Chain A
Amino acid sequence: MMTMVSDAQVLLLAAVLTGAGLAKLLTGEPAPQRPEQIHGIQVPSAEPGWAVLLRRSRPVAVVHGLVEVALGVALMLSAHPAVRVATVLLLGAATWVVGELRQRTPDAGCGCFGALSDERIGRREIARAALLTVAALATLGGTADGMQVLTGGPWQTWALCALELAALTALSREPAALLRRRRRPAVPCERRRSPLRESQKILRRSRPWRRYRALLDSDEPLDVWREGCWRFLAYPAHRDGRPVEVVFAVSTAHRDRTVRAAVLDPAPREDAPSAPAPATPTSQATGPSTAAPGAAVLPVPPSREHRSTEPPSPGNGAETALSAAGSSAAASHEHHDGEPAPPGTDVAQAAPPSSGSSAAASQGHHGGELTASAAGSAAVKASGGCRCAASAVGAGGSKAGDAAAGAPAGGECRECARQYVMSR
């Protein structure tokens, strides 16, 4: 009889320890329920204690989880007394720590099953830990390991183990927390609080990051900001000896996150009209009369040939100029989906088609080679982001200019068309 009870405890403890350890490793820390500040005023913290510090430490939680999994496996594979004594000590210490946490910071949850144990610590958590300690003490007299019980144990042992597991489940709040997690409504990506660390983690696993990593001057971004579903990270970089910016957009969605990237060429504004940068084919394609003085030149998105694993070389393929008034940045941009996208995917095609003034820009994007071969130049002006085609001096440029003049665009585009007319 005593052997049967002892064997049932071995199975029970192996299951509970393995489950608790995996929960700690997989679910992470529960979010703290008490903010450090409320409306700028420091919330007085609870009296600090060693148990609280241990509870909040993620490395401690990981080590604890690994030890629990190891003990659970060891209970199944070995009947050595050292394994059982270690189990008794671990569960006894856990009972003590849960009692201490209940005194100090009951709101933080016990963390017994990782983030699932985020409810206020009550008597039942202490009772559960104490009962498991008693169960561990009961295993000290047994001689069979878990696998022997599992394969050759009587049905009474199984029944007792199942009964104890059911009682433990009834005593625990974690099953309800698990159900709540599965039912929790998903926060829309534009409202979801996405930590910067999460975005950086996604970014560094993405293909655009691997592609442009070699260009970056630093791992520290120049600017990090958020617009709805996207977090943007702009990095300083160099390409072909020229300073550029690489801008990544990381989705803030809960799952299926994508990463996009663009390389912006911060050509000096004064270079655009009179002194095109020799390394930028865009500048060669841009007629001096098309860019307003003081405007920067943004090379057009490269053609599909540019979407290889290697960064495009200067002078390879056609590019359209985008002049950006009010900004010193000029962009030669390349688009990439995140990891799910196959190599060479043209993201711009997946985006909804631009309308109005963007029509010319889209034409320049998808038909970059055509524009270059036919005219050798085409210019698209984006003043404050508004984009319209402007003429390039030379054959073929007039059509683009006419398209711009007739485009139903906003003020910048009208100004662009006016400049085109004056340039002729």
Chain B
Amino acid sequence: MPQPDGALRRLRSRAVFDLPAPPAGAVPDAPPRAVRGTIVDASPHLLVLDTAAGEPVRLPMAPTTSVWHGGRSGPQALTPGREAIVRLDADGSVAERVWVDITRVTGTILSCDRDGRQVEVDGGPHRGRTLLTIPEDALRRVLVRHPMLEPGYLMDVICVRSPDGPRAVRPGTSQPGHPADRIVPAPADAPSPQTVQGSATWFDGPAAGRAAGAAYPAVDPEGDAGGCADAPQGCAPLPCLSRGSVLIVRNECSGRALKVPIVECGCVAARYCDRCVECGTSPRGRIVELTPVGFAALGGDLDAGCFNVTLDFTATAAAFHPAPEGSP
């Protein structure tokens, strides 16, 4: 599904309401601190990535640069042809962390073999089904936080790519104790505030791309908005938006904020009514899934899985303005 022209939509909606733009400059539009691409060349001092956007990007490496490839690794993991996601340091001059061939499997367990080594996970209508392999050394760690490896329950694991498909490394978050179809939604009459706090994770899939973006659980299913017809009501009271709408995402752990467009319906995230405990305990509800670049640009560690987040809807001005007369 092509990404709608969010800028044109914002122009149209502001024209209808004669709205000004939100103040620019306070929140950067583009992620200046994360890059995703295929490794072209690597040395202890330089990493060259093909981002499919013109010339390859050359990123200086430092002795302190940390490399992840299924766990802590070194420069030997930077093999040409592999995919890398790089987070730059505060100055944006040196690679701070590099994740090689990292991916994530999130969704509902469809089936698993007796040993729990092969698990088929349904990632929803956008991401499809994935056959996940859980090696022996990772199985214990996964089982600690996913005690119900049974069909109908949710799963969320950080994986490394392999020729046989994704291989589990560690659990992304703790498994909710309820089956996937038993969610306690937010009260029907709960209004949506202009800022909502909760948990943010990241996702991998066709829509993840190489830019910052978000999968939002409350995308409207009608017209060209791009939502899933069967997306459940999540446990956080979120306003209905569309693909192309802009969110201001603030990482409460790092303090960084970024404007990101909604690129996918987060119908999987809506099923998770969990908390993130990276820096304090977040309110219940997975309110956004970020693309890997967006997650890293906000200071998140991809191998950690989540951070506490505040969503600000003021960039989508028409969402709350002006309230229709007589609205309940």
Q: Could you tell me which A residues sit within 8 Å of B by CB distance?
A: 35-41, 184-196, 199, 221, 223-234, 245, 247-249, 251-258, 260-262, 264, 298, 301, 324, 326-329, 331, 333, 335, 340, 348, 350-352, 354-358, 361-362, 365, 382-387, 409-413
**Shortest beta-carbon distance from B125 to chain A in Å:** 4
Q: Which residues of B contact A357 (CB under 8 A)?
A: 20-21, 23
- A226 touching B223, Cβ below 8 Å: yes
Encode B203-244 as 1/0 by CB contact (under 8 A) with A: 000000000000000101011110011100000011111101
**Shortest beta-carbon distance from A358 to chain B in Å:** 3
Cα-based distance from A352 to B241 in the complex (angstroms): 22
- B16 touching A333, Cβ below 8 Å: yes
Residue with the highest number of chain A CB atoms closer than 10 Å, among B25, B238, B244: B25
- B21 touching A387, Cβ below 8 Å: yes
Q: Which residues of A contact B11 (CB under 8 A)?
A: 264, 324, 327, 329, 331, 382, 385
Q: Which residues of A contact B318 (CB under 8 A)?
A: 227-228, 230, 232, 249
- B225 touching A327, Cβ below 8 Å: no
Pairs A-B, 5 closest by C-beta atoms: A224-B223, A256-B326, A228-B319, A410-B24, A186-B328
Encode B1-34 as 1/0 by CB contact (under 8 A) with A: 0001101111111111111111111100000000
Chain B contact residue count (CB 8 A cutoff): 69
**Shortest beta-carbon distance from B213 to chain A in Å:** 17
| Known contacts A223-B224, A262-B16, A185 near B319 by CB under 8 Å | no
6 A-B Cβ contacts within 8 A? A247-B12, A251-B327, A261-B16, A356-B23, A357-B21, A412-B21
| Known contacts A194-B222, A227-B316, A232-B12, A354 near B19 by CB under 8 Å | yes
Cα-based distance from A355 to B180 in the complex (angstroms): 45
Please tell me if B187 contacts chain A, counting CB pairs below 8 Å.
Answer: yes
Q: Which residues of A contact B326 (CB under 8 A)?
A: 253, 255-256
Please tell me if B189 contacts chain A, counting CB pairs below 8 Å.
Answer: yes
**Shortest beta-carbon distance from B310 to chain A in Å:** 18
- A384 touching B24, Cβ below 8 Å: yes
Chain A: CB-nearest residue to B127: A40
From B7, B8, B14, B328, contact of A189 by CB (8 A): B328
Q: Which residues of A contact B192 (CB under 8 A)?
A: 188, 190-191, 228
- A384 touching B21, Cβ below 8 Å: yes
Cα-based distance from A328 to B12 in the complex (angstroms): 11
Chain B: CB-nearest residue to A250: B324
Please tell me if B264 contacts chain A, counting CB pairs below 8 Å.
Answer: no
Cα-based distance from A187 to B220 in the complex (angstroms): 15
- A350 touching B322, Cβ below 8 Å: yes
Cα-based distance from A223 to B323 in the complex (angstroms): 22
Cα-based distance from A335 to B322 in the complex (angstroms): 13
Q: Which residues of B contact A301 (CB under 8 A)?
A: 18
**Shortest beta-carbon distance from A259 to chain B in Å:** 10
Cα-based distance from A298 to B8 in the complex (angstroms): 13
**Shortest beta-carbon distance from A274 to chain B in Å:** 22
CB neighbors of A among B298-328 (8 A): 313, 316-328
Q: Which residues of B contact A188 (CB under 8 A)?
A: 189-192, 237, 327-328
- A189 touching B12, Cβ below 8 Å: no
| Known contacts A39-B230, A385-B21, A331 near B15 by CB under 8 Å | yes
Please tell me if B279 contacts chain A, counting CB pairs below 8 Å.
Answer: no
- A232 touching B9, Cβ below 8 Å: yes
Cα-based distance from A252 to B318 in the complex (angstroms): 12
Residue with the highest number of chain A CB atoms closer than 10 Å, among B4, B11, B24, B317: B11
| Known contacts A190-B192, A225-B223, A228-B239, A386 near B24 by CB under 8 Å | yes
- A247 touching B15, Cβ below 8 Å: yes
Please tell me if B283 contacts chain A, counting CB pairs below 8 Å.
Answer: no
Cα-based distance from A409 to B23 in the complex (angstroms): 7
Cα-based distance from A85 to B244 in the complex (angstroms): 61
| Known contacts A190-B191, A245-B12, A247-B15, A253 near B239 by CB under 8 Å | no
Encode B117-151 as 1/0 by CB contact (under 8 A) with A: 00000101100000000000000000000000000
Q: Which residues of B contact A412 (CB under 8 A)?
A: 21, 24
Chain A: CB-nearest residue to B129: A40
Residue with the highest number of chain B CB atoms closer than 10 Å, among A190, A221, A328: A190
Cα-based distance from A224 to B189 in the complex (angstroms): 26
- B16 touching A335, Cβ below 8 Å: yes
- A191 touching B324, Cβ below 8 Å: no
| Known contacts A191-B192, A232-B12, A326 near B24 by CB under 8 Å | no
Chain B: CB-nearest residue to A331: B15
Cα-based distance from A186 to B316 in the complex (angstroms): 24
- A40 touching B23, Cβ below 8 Å: no
- A190 touching B25, Cβ below 8 Å: no
Chain A: CB-nearest residue to B238: A191
CB neighbors of A among B136-186 (8 A): 180-181
Chain B: CB-nearest residue to A35: B230
- B108 touching A187, Cβ below 8 Å: no
Residue with the highest number of chain A CB atoms closer than 10 Å, among B7, B229, B271: B7
Q: Which residues of B contact A409 (CB under 8 A)?
A: 23-24
